């Protein structure tokens, strides 16, 4: 018997998960008749009826449920093969694929990568700058060899190495009313509209978790932006405060273009981490980059 088409197996699994061939077709961006034809061809090839189709959708037959379990294992191994081949190809061509969250990419990675590339003139780096949630997705999918995140969330499928320690600070523009006293209470902070990073950002997650630990609600966002630089600009040119990485605003604080405001009862220190999947070893280029970054306890 010839091997089944992996694409058809994936389409079948999507149909079982969504309960509809038409929804599976939409998820795979193909026409519904094409999806039905591919699954019918798969059934004919296997000699097994996989789906019971009806007016309310499609459900797997008893045999289809068994095949679905096998198909999940097969597709997982196929993904590992694809990921491994991509890593080998990247290593052979001397290109390191890195995904990094915004704060790390903007303020920490440049000198690390400069040192790395100066010592390896025949190699290169492809850097993808996204928030921490998307970094983890790219590393897990094998689209990046190494990731850098700010998120405090556990990463059970990843190995990690602490590359820096950062403290979040509350900042405002010069002349803001909060600069006239000795600071503000955490209740005042929570009740004030803030400029914040988008959901999925490690900075946003760190702030929300710290407030939740104090029994407080998540902060109210008057403006959400997709990068730390945009947060700094919005606060410098507006009237709303923010809570942001101390690494990111160090130069602003020194220059006086932003002012730090103490918040009584709120201290947020976090570890910035490099991450890679537990299921595979680091490739030589990723290991070489990590070796030149301090490994903090």
Q: Where among 37, 63, 82 does a domain terminate?
A: 82
Same domain, 191 and 260: yes
Q: Is pLDDT of 90 > 60?
A: no
Same domain, 66 and 158: no
Q: Is pLDDT of 91 > 60?
A: no
pLDDT tens profile 131-150? 999 999 999 888 999 999 99
Same domain, 246 and 217: yes
CATH number at residue 36: 1.10.10.10
pLDDT of residue 27: 79
Percentage of the chain lying above the pLDDT 90 cut: 51
Confidence of residue 93 (pLDDT cuts 50, 70, 90): low
Q: Where among 82, 110, 143 does a domain terminate?
A: 82
Same domain, 66 and 93: no
CATH number at residue 225: 3.40.190.290
Same domain, 168 and 237: yes
Q: How far apart are CA 241 and CA 244, in angstroms?
A: 10
Same domain, 158 and 276: yes
Lowest mean pLDDT among 75-84, 242-251, 273-282: 75-84
* Stronger pLDDT, 279 or 103, i.e. the higher one: 103
Evaluate whether residue 296 is within a structural domain.
no
Tally of CB atoms within 10 A around 76 = 10
Average pLDDT, the chain: 88
Q: Is pLDDT of 82 > 80?
A: no
pLDDT tens profile 203-238? 999 999 999 999 999 898 999 998 889 999 999 999
Same domain, 157 and 277: yes
Same domain, 208 and 218: yes
Evaluate whether residue 38 is within a structural domain.
yes
pLDDT tens profile 154-199? 888 889 999 999 999 999 999 999 999 889 999 999 999 999 998 8
What is the sign of the dihedral through the CA atoms of 114, 116, 117 and 118?
A: positive
Q: Where among 58, 82, 106 does a domain terminate?
A: 82
Evaluate whether residue 1 is within a structural domain.
no
CATH number at residue 97: 3.40.190.10
Q: Where are the alpha helices (DSSP H) in 94-141?
A: 102-107, 109-118, 132-140
Evaluate whether residue 53 is within a structural domain.
yes
Q: Which two tokens stand for residue 251?
A: 């130069």
Confidence of residue 56 (pLDDT cuts 50, 70, 90): confident
pLDDT tens profile 146-164? 999 998 888 888 899 999 9
Which residue range(s) make up the domain with 286? 89-162+272-291
Query: Do the Cβ atoms of 152 and 205 come closer than 8 Å?
Result: yes
Evaluate whether residue 297 is within a structural domain.
no
Evaluate whether residue 112 is within a structural domain.
yes
- Report the alpha-carbon angle 109-111-114, nearest 5: 105
pLDDT of residue 166: 93
Evaluate whether residue 256 is within a structural domain.
yes
Confidence of residue 84 (pLDDT cuts 50, 70, 90): low
What's the domain count of the chain?
Answer: 3
Confidence of residue 92 (pLDDT cuts 50, 70, 90): low
């Amino acid at each position: 018997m010839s091997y089944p088409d992996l694409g058809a197996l994936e389409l079948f699994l999507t149909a079982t998960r969504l309960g509809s061939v038409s929804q599976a077709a939409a998820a795979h961006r193909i026409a519904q008749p094409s999806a039905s034809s591919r699954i019918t061809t798969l059934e004919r090839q296997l000699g097994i009826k996989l789906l019971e189709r009806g007016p309310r959708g499609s459900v797997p037959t008893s045999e289809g449920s068994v095949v679905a379990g096998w198909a999940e294992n097969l597709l997982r191994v196929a993904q590992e093969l694809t990921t491994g081949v991509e890593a080998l190809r990247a290593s052979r061509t001397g290109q390191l694929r890195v995904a990094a969250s915004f704060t790390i990419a903007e303020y920490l990675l440049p000198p690390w990568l400069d040192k790395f590339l100066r010592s390896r003139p025949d190699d290169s780096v492809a850097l993808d700058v996204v928030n921490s949630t998307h970094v983890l997705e790219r590393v897990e999918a094998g689209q990046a060899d190494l990731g850098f995140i700010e998120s405090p969330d556990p990463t059970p499928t990843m190995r990690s190495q602490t590359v820096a320690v950062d403290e979040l600070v509350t900042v405002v523009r010069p002349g803001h009313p909060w600069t006239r006293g000795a600071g503000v209470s955490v209740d005042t902070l929570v009740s004030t509209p803030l400029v914040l990073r988008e959901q999925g950002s490690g900075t946003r997650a760190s702030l929300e978790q710290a407030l939740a630990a104090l029994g407080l609600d998540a902060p109210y966002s008057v403006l959400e932006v997709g990068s730390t630089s945009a947060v700094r600009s919005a606060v410098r040119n507006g009237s709303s405060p923010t809570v942001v990485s101390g690494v990111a605003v160090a130069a602003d604080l020194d220059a006086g273009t932003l002012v730090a405001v103490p918040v009584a009862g709120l201290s947020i220190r976090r570890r910035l981490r490099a991450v890679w999947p537990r299921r595979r070893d680091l490739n030589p280029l990723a290991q070489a980059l990590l070796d030149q970054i301090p490994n903090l306890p």
